[in-house]
Chains A and B, each alone.
Chain A
Amino acid sequence: MKFSQAFKMAFVALKGNKMRSFLTMLGIIIGVVAVTLLISVVQGATGEITGQIESLGSNLLQVSFTGTQPTHLTISDLGELEKDGSIYGVTGVVTRTSTIRVGDTDDDYKVEGITRKYQDITGQVIKQGRFISDIDVESHAYNAVVGIDVANDMFGTENCIGNTLEINGFNFTVVGLLQKSDTMLANKDSTVLIPLSTAQRLFKDKEFDALYISASTPDMVDAAQNATDDFLIRELGDNDDYTIINQNAIIDVMNDVMSVMTILLSGIAAISLLVGGIGIMNIMLVSVTERTREIGIRKAIGAQRSDILTQFLIEAVVLSLAGGIVGLGLSYIGLIIIGTAMGITMSMSLGTVALALGFSAFVGVVFGIYPANKAARLKPIDALRYE
């Protein structure tokens, strides 16, 4: 018997029992939706977060000071560190939340004291005007670069270059506007950047809250981290309460976490596919019993064991594969909805599609083979006599 004929027979049989076929498929549909949605969402989220971290610069190291003792680090100390071959640039950062006032409007924003190198190290883009310069830092200039939300909220316009804003009662001239940031992690939309030296004076604090260090190339990140470590131990002595955060290390850890999550979630989802498969087996067994007489007739007129086996196996595989395809369709729609709701581009990878289809076909074969074999092995006379 030809394969196409066997397919036709399977379709006729499944069409004859539409409700039952649909309910049997439902188990697989739910399983496939669960698998594909979970995997795609985790992958989408991983891609999104990794992308954001990488957009900070994969060369980036971040040092945060956790001790209570002053570090006594100065801008010129950082210049020492910057001389290391593995390091492109170093900037110390002083961060405070301060009240910003423009005319009658006032609101709290994050104010960061930074140096010129900060722009390159953290990948900020200027939309209008200029960034904080070395001269600004040397001269303790009262100049500020603002994020786009600050400009809109405080000035009501993006064209705020040359305007004045007040931080802690001191007037600053806006010299630059940052491009709207498309990441969540390095988002400076609601931040005011001022020269580091000015910030230290303004906040009456000589200490850095953090250091941003950029390695000269992505390969040099580890060397830069070692150099930073050596430098900090030398400078701080016993007072070494600091943490160096390596972006690559974060990405690695996050990828590890996400892949464990993927395995875990798809394992859970696979259980629902398994349950769906058992549903298929159950229905196929019922179907074989119901159609015992049909099997007898088919055998009496010359169906071989393999013909009956193929027919029932194809029925099982068609059920599960159709369930898989419907499930993929639903997941695709689900992903669009989730993606729109979360503002993230969700995509279903080809691997996920192949996995879902392959697994549902596999489930069909595994759970179809036993009932099909049971049907194929019926003796023609017993099957014909069955009432």
Chain B
Amino acid sequence: MIELLNIRKTYQMGEAEVHALDGVSATIKDGEFVAVIGPSGSGKSTLMNIIGCLDLADDGEYRLNGQLIDDYTERQLGEIRNREIGFIFQQFNLLPKLTAYENVELPLIYQGLPMGERKKRVIESLEKVGLANRMNHRPSELSGGQQQRVAIARALSTKPTLILADEPTGNLDSHSGHEIMDILTGLHREGRGILLITHDNNVANMARRQLKMYDGRIEQDSLSGGETA
């Protein structure tokens, strides 16, 4: 359960102040599939970073699972990023020197899971994205779509309740993009919450709910399309 109330975030760009978020309020329930859509510079990514506990708001209240985010310790926030949230980035953000297997294993290492359990979960996750046969390849040996699927497997391996996807198809051709979206909708069907950021209406329409952002505000909060959950 994510509750945002009047969230503000301002960046200093040289002389000018940029209001990346200018009073955003929204509530996202567990298991929802929400698309945040808007032009670049509308504050989508900033919103995702704040929801994902990567960044802190300047003003406003953010409650995660009923508790104010300011009341969490740094260690607890690390654990939330580790266990509750799975990130999928536009740039994939895999570690280039590690194999697909090792990349997926990384969050489980930080959880302190024993090796046997890690192996089980890594293989399970890679099978889910159809890359079990590529687990000893490095990111540079994989196509963009495959890299993004490894990133999804990494996000999945910790069995998070919420998946945050920042333009996951932005760097991919339409075919790979479809594959990624198929995987994401599949995950939603399994009951995971998904917050998807995109500027592509077709992608956004695959979600049940759309938040349209403009100039740091949510202009429209609508339920349309997608699958009825």
Q: Which A residues have a C-beta under 8 Å from some C-beta of B? A: 1-2, 5, 12-13, 16, 293-294, 296-305, 307, 379-381, 384
Contact = CB atoms under 8 A, between A and B. Distances in A.
B75 A297 contact: no
Nearest to B53: A380
Interface in B98-128: 98, 106-107, 109-112
A302 B55 contact: no
A12 B96 CA distance: 12
B62 interface: no
A300 B79 contact: no
Interface stretch (B81-89, B142-150, B174-182, B197-205): B81-89
15 contacts: A16-B97, A293-B93, A294-B95, A299-B54, A299-B81, A300-B52, A300-B54, A301-B81, A301-B154, A303-B82, A304-B78, A304-B110, A305-B74, A305-B78, A307-B110
B97 A12 contact: yes
B81 A302 contact: yes
Interface in B38-75: 49, 52, 54-55, 74-75
A297 B93 contact: yes
Contacts of A300: 52, 54, 81, 87, 93
A136 B152 CA distance: 104
B75 A304 contact: yes
B109 A381 contact: no
A376 to B, nearest CB: 11
Contacts of A297: 93-95
B97 A299 contact: no
B169 interface: no
A380 to B, nearest CB: 5
A294 B95 CA distance: 7
A303 B81 CA distance: 9
Contacts of B210: none
Contacts of B75: 304-305
A301 B104 CA distance: 10
B97 A2 contact: no
Contacts of A5: 109
A302 B82 contact: yes
Contacts of A299: 54, 78, 81
A302 B83 contact: yes
B78 A303 contact: yes
A167 to B, nearest CB: 83
Given A302-B79, A381-B54, A1 B87 contact: no
B184 to A, nearest CB: 18
B81 A1 contact: no
Nearest to A379: B55
A41 B36 CA distance: 73
A379 B110 CA distance: 17
Nearest to B102: A12
A315 to B, nearest CB: 13
A84 B55 CA distance: 92
- Which one of A2, A299, A381 has the greatest number of beta carbons of chain B within 10 Å? A381
Nearest to B52: A300
A32 B55 CA distance: 45
A297 B107 CA distance: 10
Nearest to A383: B54
Given A297-B93, A297-B94, A301-B155, 11 more contacts: A5-B109, A12-B98, A294-B95, A297-B95, A300-B54, A304-B78, A304-B79, A304-B110, A305-B75, A379-B55, A380-B55
Contacts of B81: 299-302, 380
A387 to B, nearest CB: 10
A384 B54 contact: yes
A383 to B, nearest CB: 9
A302 B78 contact: yes
Minimum-distance CB pairs A-B, first 9? A302-B82, A381-B55, A301-B107, A381-B54, A304-B78, A302-B110, A380-B54, A297-B93, A302-B81
Nearest to A297: B93
Contact of B109 (A1, A294, A296, A305): A1
Contact of B112 (A1, A13, A296): A1
A154 B98 CA distance: 78
